[in-house]
Amino acid sequence: MQVIFIKDLRKQGKKGDIKTVADGYAKNFLIKNGYAVPVNEKNMNNLQHEKAREEKQNQENRKLAEKLKKELEKEQLEFKVKTGKDDKVFGSISPKQIKEALEQKGYKIDKKQIELQSSITSLGYHKVIINLYSDIYAEVNIHVIK
């Protein structure tokens, strides 16, 4: 029996997959527990509409991420830090601090999206990469001053 998965089921199928499984397994487990529906014309149409809707949403999210990237790359964040001998910075600039500085400027970025190659522990200019979408990254300039 062919079924369309409507929920992810580990090691069996992901949402939207069409698989052939044993009749008993399909009826007594997959369909009964809401993991899948049988393949028929109505369910195939629903699947196509769902995929089209997801694709449209994906394109809208991509456009928003591109717009946000252009805005973020114009920004420059400035951090004032305490220094010791020879302008040695105490501590470092964390993703949380960068997130808070971006929020003050009106951007809603999660700290998990901020990617630091190495910790920012010196004065001067640094570039920070922010993952906005699956393959869209913005480079934000950071200026650390004393």
DSSP secondary structure letters along 3-22: EEESS-BTTTB-TT-EEE--
Q: What is the pLDDT of residue 117?
A: 82
Q: What is the pLDDT of residue 116?
A: 87
DSSP string of 80-127, one letter each residue: E--B-GGGPBSS-B-HHHHHHHHHHTT----GGGEE-SS-B-SSEEEE
Mean pLDDT over 49-71 rounds to: 93
C-alpha–C-alpha distance, residues 119 and 96, integer Å: 12
The percentage of the chain sitting over the pLDDT mark of 90, rounded to a whole number, equals 61
Residue-range domains of the chain with CATH: 2-62 (3.40.5.10), 69-145 (3.10.430.100)
Query: Across the strands, what pairs with 128?
Result: 140
CB 37 within 8 A of CB 4: yes
Half-sphere exposure of 44 (CA within 13 A, CB side): 5
Highest mean pLDDT among 51-65, 74-88, 121-135: 51-65
Q: What are phi and psi of 51, to 5 degrees?
A: -65, -40
- The pTM is what? 0.70
Q: What is the pLDDT of residue 27?
A: 93
What letter does residue 41 receive in the DSSP assignment? H
Q: What is the mean pLDDT of the chain?
A: 90
